[in-house]
Amino acid sequence: MAARTKTNKELFFNGILNENPIFRLALSMCPAVGISTTVMNGLLLGMAVLFVQVFSSCTIALIKDYIHPRIRIPTYTLTIATWVTVIDLVLAAYVPVAYKAMGIFVKLIVAFAIITMRLEMFASKNSVTASFCDGLGMGLGFMFAMMTLGFVRELLGMGTVLGYDVLGFCPLLFFVLPSAGFFVVGLMMAMFNYIEIVYNRRKKVKR
């Protein structure tokens, strides 16, 4: 168990950088393409995912000793579904306008592979504190990725950031169109790959 040797701080940054759910692990792509049209959408869905991830991780870490190994996965699903229902109800009640903008995606957090994966790989083997940090890191990593995508699309598509006019004109309407999500995610991934390739080449040259 290599993870146990990591400090809480490392666990926290692991989710944001090394194992970023969207850009590195390529999981939970649906919302990344579907509703990353503005920074605000990214922020809100990111917060919902953060909430579900942290609470589910803590719940599972708390009750891990009582879960029968045979019904491990159903228990995870039930836990996630419960917290998703809670956040769904809360969002619908307190931020109805933003909730409508996110549509069905809040409910679909229940099918996110990333959350189940973290429960199975981490929370079921570690303490509550470690799971909390891990969950927080993963959730923030997701939120960060969603906001980056939202930033790029909002800036290039509408010339605004968080609804404030920044550029004063609208460079490429294409970026806010629904299908552009695929292109933006693809290009961002390619960019990360390119940076990695260049970085590795530099390292080699240095040696």
Partner 1 sequence: MKERMRHLTLTGLLLVAILVSVGCDTGHRFVKKTEFKDGETIVITFAGPVDEAWAKEKANYAVYEEPDPDILLPIKEIRLSPDRTKVTLSFDDGLNTRQAHVLKTKEMLSEGRSQGTAVLTVKKLYFGLLLSIFIGAMLVNNFVFTKYLGLCVFFGTSQRKSTAVGMGITFTIVIVFAAMMAWALYQFVLKPFQLTFLNIVVFIGLVSLSVQAVDTILRKVNPALFKAFGVYLVLVIANCIAIAVPLILADNEYTGPESFMLALGAGLGFLVALFLMSSARERLELANVPPSFRGLPIAFIVAGLFALAFLGFSGMSIH
Partner 2 sequence: MKEILRITIALTLSCLIAATVMGLAFVMTAKAKKHNEDLYMQETMLGLLGYSKARPAPSDLRFYGVYRYIIADGDRRFLGYMVPVKRGGEQNYALVVMDLKGRFVETMDLSISPEAAGDAPEREKALRVALGPPKAVTYGDTTIIAKRGERRLAYLLPGSFPGFKTFISIMLALDPSFKVLGLEIMEHEEDPGLGAEIEEEYFKHQFKGKTFERIKTIDVVREPLPEQYKKYLERSTWQEGAFTEEEIEEIGRTYEDKDIYAITGATISSKSVSDGVRNMTKRFSYRMGSLDRVIASQGVEVLF
The one segment of 41-49, 81-89, 121-129, 141-149 that binds partner 1 by CB under 8 A:
81-89
Question: Interface residues for partner 2 in 50-69 (CB under 8 A)?
Answer: 66-68
Q: Rg of the Cα trace of the chain?
A: 18
Tell whether residue 29 is a contact of partner 1 (CB under 8 A). Answer: yes
> How does DSSP classify residue 66?
G
Distance (Å, whole) CA 123 – CA 145: 22
* Total residues binding partner 1 (CB under 8 A): 39
Q: Which is nearer to partner 2, 163 or 191 (CB)?
A: 163
Distance (Å, whole) CA 72 – CA 60: 10
* Total residues binding partner 2 (CB under 8 A): 29
CB of 119 to partner 2, least distance (A): 14
Neighbours of 55 (CB within 10 A): 20
User: Measured between alpha carbons, how far is residue 58 from residues 47, 69, 77, 130 in Å?
Assistant: 16, 18, 14, 9
Taking residues 113 to 152 in sequence order and writing x for each that binds partner 1 by CB under 8 A, - otherwise, the string is: x--x------------------------------------
Closest CA to 28 of 14, 49, 54: 49
In the complex, which residues of this chain contact partner 1 (CB under 8 A)? 26-30, 33-34, 74, 77-78, 81-82, 84-85, 88-89, 104, 107-108, 110-113, 116, 178-183, 185-187, 189-191, 193-194, 197
